[in-house]
Amino acid sequence: MKNLIIAIDGPSGAGKGTISRALSEELGYRHIDTGAMYRAIGWLAIHRGVPFDDEAAITALASGADIVVEGGVVAIDGHDVTRAIRTPEIDKTAAAVARLPQVRAVLVARQREIGQSGGVVMEGRDIGTVVFPDADVKIYLDASEEERARRRAGDSAHSGGPVEQKAVAEAIRARDLSDSTRKASPLTLAPDAVHIDTTGMPIGEVVDRVRTLVKDRTPAS
């Protein structure tokens, strides 16, 4: 049976991580969180004092970094940053890194190398449009801004602790604008992606819908 390339895209708080992990575990596929790669580069830039307005320096950092984003672990150059990259500060630095075309070129090449043999559930914001435009399954998860803010406000790993939903909504709005207006690989719905609005949907129901899509696109053995 062919090992599929499954692309799951969408904005912050849409449920990409939760659904991607559940699906990968069920299928026995690798789960690759591409957003974590940008976060890791942002963390390393801060760690080494590299300014975010120096695209050449950030690109050199990305080119030489050893990044691991599998098995629930995120590490860069030997540093386990799994928890360190899930903070409001890194949310902002990741957006800054993601706007750099040369950095995206480096990381997109790595993502293609990781997933080219299939058997992967890859989540991000440009998987179905740029990284793997010919992915076997393309899914775009979304939810209302209010719903996404509520989820993030309740996730201490992202919010950094108790925080008002209004503040989280403002941060999400800013990230949405940054992702959708950047010149390099903007967040957008691929024409052939299946759009799923997860607002008010239980996780199990979303997983069921995604599972059905994957099954329908799996060639008979």
Structure token pair of residue 133:
């435009």
CA angle 210, 214, 220 (to 5 degrees): 155
DSSP conformation class of 73: -
Strand order in the sheet with 67-68: 67-68, 75-76, 79-80
Contact between 3 and 117 (Cβ < 8 Å):
yes
Neighbouring residues of 116: CB distance < 8 A, sequence distance ≥ 6: 5
What was the pLDDT predicted at 59?
97
- Cα–Cα distance, 103 to 57 (Å, whole number): 10
Would you kindly state where each structural domain of the chain is located, as residue ranges? 5-205
Strand-pair partners of 196? 141
What was the pLDDT predicted at 28?
93
Contact between 14 and 141 (Cβ < 8 Å):
yes
- Cα–Cα distance, 112 to 131 (Å, whole number): 6
User: Considering only CA atoms, which of 176, 189, 180 is closest in space to residue 140?
Assistant: 189
The residue to which tokens 């607002």 are assigned: 199
Q: Domain 5-205, what fold? A: Rossmann fold (3.40.50)
Profile the chain (221 residues) by mean pLDDT over runs of 10 residues: 90 91 94 96 96 95 95 94 91 91 96 95 96 97 91 65 72 87 89 94 91 82 53
Say which amino acid occupies 13: G
User: Considering only CA atoms, which of 134, 106, 127 is closest in space to residue 185?
Assistant: 127
Contact between 23 and 121 (Cβ < 8 Å):
yes
Question: Would the pTM count as exceeding 0.75?
Answer: yes
What was the pLDDT predicted at 157?
58
Structure token pair of residue 46:
């801060």
Strand order in the sheet with 30-33: 30-33, 120-124, 5-9, 137-142, 194-197
